[in-house]
Each structure stands twice: as structure tokens, then as C-alpha cells.
Amino acid sequence: MTREVRFGHAELSADAERPGGWLLTVNDVAQSYVDLGDPTHLELEYLRYLTYVVAVLEPADAPLDVVHIGGGGGTLPRYLSAVRPGSRHLVIEADAALAEFVDEHLGLRAVPGVELRIGDGLTEIATVPAASADLVIADAFEGLRIARGITGPEFTAHAARVLRPDGIYLLNLVGTRHDLAAIRATFPHRVLVDGDVFAGYTGNQVLAASRVPLPLDSLHRHVEQAWPPARVWPEDGK
């Protein structure tokens, strides 16, 4: 199944080895993998990194209020609705054609607790009430680049406003060079999670940023049990 969308050519491909599994690509680049039969199955590693942070938030089974910047296949809202029933999700997607394509075939709007809103991330997050979210998750790309403004001062200020005092801003980053000055100035507590326990990693990383100390001991213990191996390390701007 294919569809022309705002940022290129989208395709949904069934996984021949996993019934209910679907891979979403845009311009042949993997965007999301959804398992309709098992929403806790996370095929793409960066999504596991995001859930490592979520897993150590207490209470462990408490529902969360989440703002998702970038909808994709809706993998994370599905996962969180399964492991933390009652969670509420505002999914902001800039690509209307992509959102409709995913909803038509994978039922994004049918995910419990999901509100799908079509619009620019910066415009829409500005309308979200203050101190209303436990997590703001930015997973928005224009091709292979992070959507414009996501790491900038205006968007960062809105993310901080929308988050509760102990809330966490999570970003999916690609590569190792990003202008994170606004995030560093706003969120004093920051770590990176990625999948290379050695050196030279240039793929997806997850940045977790907060105004209060992160549960690092729990996060390290959780990541140490992960497979494939992952690591947690300070984002110190160096």
C-alpha cells in the first residue's frame, strides 16, 4: 500500500514473518513499525530507548498524559496504552496525508486515549494547556532531518510550559551534532540513550531532559538488562 504524502512517498508493508506487523516507510526510510496484534512489540531500537525512560517513572503502571510531536504509525501511543492503561495521548502530525493513510489502514484514531490533531508542531503545542503533560515526545522529521524548530528556543519554551514540573522532554535525534543550546538552558538534567556501548555511534539517540533530577539509578539498571545492549550517558554539551 502506497500514498503520496507531504514529505514524499509513503508505503505500508506487511511483515511476512510476523502476522499483524506493518512497516511504515517514507521515501524508503523506516519511520514506524506497528504490531497490531501485540502493541508492546517494538521493532525499531530507538522506540525501545524511549520506553526505557518511561519504564522507570513511578508509579510503574500509572497512566500518563503525553504530547507526541510526530505521529508516524502511532507505535508509542499503542505501547503506552497497553502498558499504562488510561494514558491520554495528543498526537500532533504535520503531514495530513500521512496521518490519514496510517489511520485508514492501522486505525490510529482507534487507539485508546488518542486525540489526533493535524497541524504544525509549534503552532499546535502553543495551544496545549500549561502543566498538563507528563511527557512531551518529539519524533518529527522532514525526510532525514529533525523537523524545523524542534530543538529551538520557541518550541523548547512551549515544551517546558506544557510539562508538569517533574515532566520529561524526550527527543528522537539522529546523528551526534545538534544545536541543543535552548534545551540545555531550559532543562538542566539531561541524558542520552543509545545502542552503542563502544564508540562512534551516529544513528538514532534519545535525549531525555527534565527540570528535576532524572531517575538515573533506575534507568541504568533497566538499560543494563536490555537486549540488544544500550547505554545511558550525560548530555553535557561537550
Tens-digit pLDDT profile for residues 134-157:
999 998 876 566 776 788 899 999
- Which pLDDT value is given to residue 56? 94
Comparing CA positions, the residue from 196, 195, 224, 219 lying closest to residue 208 is 219
Q: Is 138 helix (H, G, I), strand (E, B) or coil?
A: strand
What contacts 24+ positions apart, CB below 8 Å, involve 62-67? 63/87, 63/88, 64/88, 64/134, 64/135, 65/132, 65/133, 65/134, 65/135, 66/90, 66/133, 66/134, 66/135, 66/136, 66/137, 67/92, 67/125, 67/128, 67/133, 67/135, 67/136, 67/137, 67/162
Could you report the per-residue pLDDT of 169-222, keeping only the tens digit for each?
999 987 556 788 999 999 999 999 987 654 444 568 899 999 999 999 999 999
Which run of H or E residues covers position 101? helix 96-106
Q: Is the pLDDT of residue 130 over 60?
A: yes
Q: Is the pLDDT of residue 238 over 70?
A: no
pTM: 0.92
- Which pLDDT value is given to residue 177? 63
- Whole-number percent of the chain with pLDDT over 90: 68
Mean pLDDT within 78-97 = 95
Q: Is the pLDDT of residue 28 over 50?
A: yes
Mean pLDDT within 40-46 = 92
CATH number among 3.40.190.10, 3.40.50.150, 1.10.357.10, 3.40.50.300, domain 39-234: 3.40.50.150
- Which pLDDT value is given to residue 199? 45
Helices (H) and strands (E) in the chain, counts: 7, 14
Q: Yes or no: say if 130 and 156 are a contact pair by the CB < 8 Å rule.
A: no
